[in-house]
């Protein structure tokens, strides 16, 4: 593959191969754009010359809604931004409002929040890995990943009644306590889940075809990643050791012992699609470790909400809070004017920021590789467009 590509590139560069540029439209209903993303591709034969992404096909006016709703009413809308990581979105928003109010939540709440957020991270990475496999032509890992994701959703469902969008982490606490046997369920899940990572490794990650499709493809150098503000597995895949859970600690992440997974270019070049993918695989194991430690010191009983007035009115002021979502740095910039509704709530979506780099890293690749690159960025359109 790569040799052929090199021959093509040389031919074009030397002028021996005469080519014309062609504009091709991909999306917004293309099955491998992960939702309603549209890419205008400028192609030279099969080689990508330039990509003009065009978004907004799922612009659901989140920021306008936030201005029209009271603080607690915004929580369900945060669910719907990054619908694969609803718990993490709730968490970030709750933290922003709590910091503005200047309140601390009870210990037990922090534990439940961390366990939920990490379970959600595993669930989200499972979707990312499964669909990435499907994008490059491996259907079976998708089924394995979704099977295990369902176990996590079962736990969520027992606790808060919903499978996908939970509205669970509220400002000042949680909507309700965990169900009886929650700890046992989570521990069971971790035990069942561990072998899946090996399974996915055997099926997909060290598969020769998969490595051929993803190694050396879409290389994102570290300095470009930083300048584009990439975060999460995108940034760590390029070898930058940066995780907000450790570097800008929030909640109780500083109490646990875990590692930040960083790409190492083992199969190809540092920062290629395979590295980004393997960061996700590694992070699932680290999340398991966090959950296990949290379960060990889990407070058996306690309050699940801080006493706050029903109508939340934070004092005048503003705050920028960020948390580590499965896709990267999720930031909430919240301005309060002292009333019951946020004055302005701007969201910095990690998918939005990570997607902006696609033009830079896809140039000169084959159009088939573009699908792999897009899959490895792991965007959620709900958050790109908000």
Partner 1 sequence: MGLLSQQYDDGNIVLTSVEGVLNWARLCSLWQMSFGLACCAIEMMAASASHNDIMRFGVLPRPSPRQCDVMIVAGTVTLKMATRVKRLYEQMAEPRYVVSMGSCSNCGGPYWEHGYHVLKGVDRVVPVDVYIPGCPPRPEALLEGWMRLQEKVRDFTIVKEK
Partner 2 sequence: MGKTHEEICTYLSELFPDAGLEYDDAVPCINVPPALIREIALQVRDDAELAFDTLMCLSGVDFGDGTLGVVYHLDSMSLRQKLTLKVTIPVAEACVPTVERVWRIAEWHEREAYDLVGIVFQGHGDLRRILLPEDWEGHPLRKDYQVQEFYNGMKVPY
Q: Does the protein bind partner 2 through residue 240 (CB under 8 A)? A: yes
Q: Please, what is the minimum distance in Å from the beta carbon of residue 79 to ligand SF4?
A: 8
Q: Does the protein bind partner 2 through residue 289 (CB under 8 A)? A: no
Tell me, letter by letter, the H, E, C secondary structure of 123-170.
HHHHHHHHHHHHHCCCCHHHHHHHHHHHHHHHHHHHHHCCCCCCCCEE
Q: Which two tokens stand for residue 274?
A: 């395979």
Q: Please, what is the minimum distance in Å from the beta carbon of residue 352 to partner 2?
A: 7
Which of 48, 71, 72, 80 is close enough to bind ligand SF4 by CB under 6 A?
80
Which of 12, 42, 58, 252 is close enough to bind partner 1 by CB under 8 A?
58
* CA 326 centroid distance within chain: 3
Which of 9, 65, 246, 255 is close enough to bind partner 1 by CB under 8 A?
65
Q: What angle do CA 137, 357, 353 make, to 5 degrees?
A: 105
Residues 11-70 that bind ligand SF4 (CB under 6 A): none
User: What single DSSP character describes residue 178?
Assistant: P
Q: Which is nearer to partner 1, 116 or 220 (CB)?
A: 116
Tell me, letter by letter, the H, E, C secondary structure of 35-95.
CCCEEEEEEECCEEEEEEEECCCCCCCHHHHHHHCCHHHHHHHHHCCCCCCHHHHHHHHHH
What is the distance between the alpha carbons of residues 326 and 232, in angstroms, rounded to a whole number? 7
What is the distance between the alpha carbons of residues 72 and 179, in angstroms, rounded to a whole number? 23
Residues 44-83 that bind partner 2 (CB under 8 A): 55-56, 59, 61, 63-64, 67
- SS3 assignment, position 216: coil
Q: By CB under 8 A, name the binding residues for partner 1.
A: 28-31, 35-36, 56-61, 64-65, 68, 76-77, 80, 83-84, 127, 142-144, 146-147, 149-150, 163-165, 381-382
Binding site for partner 2 (CB under 8 A): 55-56, 59, 61, 63-64, 67, 224, 226-229, 240, 242, 247, 317-318, 320, 322, 329, 331, 333, 335, 343-344, 346, 348, 352-353, 356, 360, 385-386
Q: Interface residues with ligand SF4 (CB under 6 A)?
A: 80, 165
């Amino acid at each position: 593959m790569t040799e052929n590509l090199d021959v093509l590139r040389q031919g074009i560069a030397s002028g021996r191969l005469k080519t014309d540029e062609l504009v091709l439209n991909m999306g917004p209903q293309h099955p491998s754009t992960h939702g309603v993303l549209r890419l205008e591709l400028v192609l030279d034969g099969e080689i990508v010359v330039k990509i003009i992404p065009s978004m907004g096909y799922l612009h659901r006016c989140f920021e306008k809604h936030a201005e029209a709703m009271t603080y607690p009413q915004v929580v369900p809308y945060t669910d719907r931004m990054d619908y694969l990581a609803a718990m993490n979105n709730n968490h970030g928003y709750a933290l922003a409002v709590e910091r503005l109010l200047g309140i601390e939540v009870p210990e037990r709440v922090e534990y439940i929040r961390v366990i939920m957020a990490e379970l959600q991270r595993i669930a989200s990475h499972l979707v990312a890995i499964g669909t990435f496999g499907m994008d490059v032509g491996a259907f079976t890992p998708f089924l394995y990943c979704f099977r295990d994701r369902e176990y996590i959703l079962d736990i969520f469902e027992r606790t808060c009644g919903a499978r996908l969008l939970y509205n669970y982490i509220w400002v000042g606490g949680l909507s309700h306590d965990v169900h009886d046997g929650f700890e046992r369920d989570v521990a069971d899940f971790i035990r069942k889940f561990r072998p899946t990572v090996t399974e996915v490794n055997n099926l997909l990650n060290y598969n020769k075809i998969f490595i051929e499709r993803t190694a050396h493809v879409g290389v994102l150098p570290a300095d470009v990643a930083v300048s584009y503000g990439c975060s999460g597995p995108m940034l760590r895949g390029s070898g930058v050791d940066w995780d907000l859970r450790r570097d800008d600690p929030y909640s109780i992440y500083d109490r646990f012992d875990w590692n930040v997974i960083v790409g190492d270019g083992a199969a190809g070049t540092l920062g290629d699609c395979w590295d980004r993918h393997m960061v996700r695989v590694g992070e699932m194991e680290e999340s398991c470790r966090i959950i296990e430690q949290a379960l060990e010191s889990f407070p058996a009983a306690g309050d699940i909400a801080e006493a706050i007035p029903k109508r939340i009115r934070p004092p005048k002021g503003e705050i920028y809070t960020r948390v580590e979502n499965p896709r990267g740095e999720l930031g909430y910039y919240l301005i309060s004017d002292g009333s019951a509704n946020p004055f302005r709530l701007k969201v910095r979506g990690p998918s939005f920021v990570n997607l902006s780099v696609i033009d830079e890293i896809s140039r000169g690749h084959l159009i088939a590789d573009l699908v792999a690159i897009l899959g490895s960025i792991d965007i959620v359109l709900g958050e790109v467009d908000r």
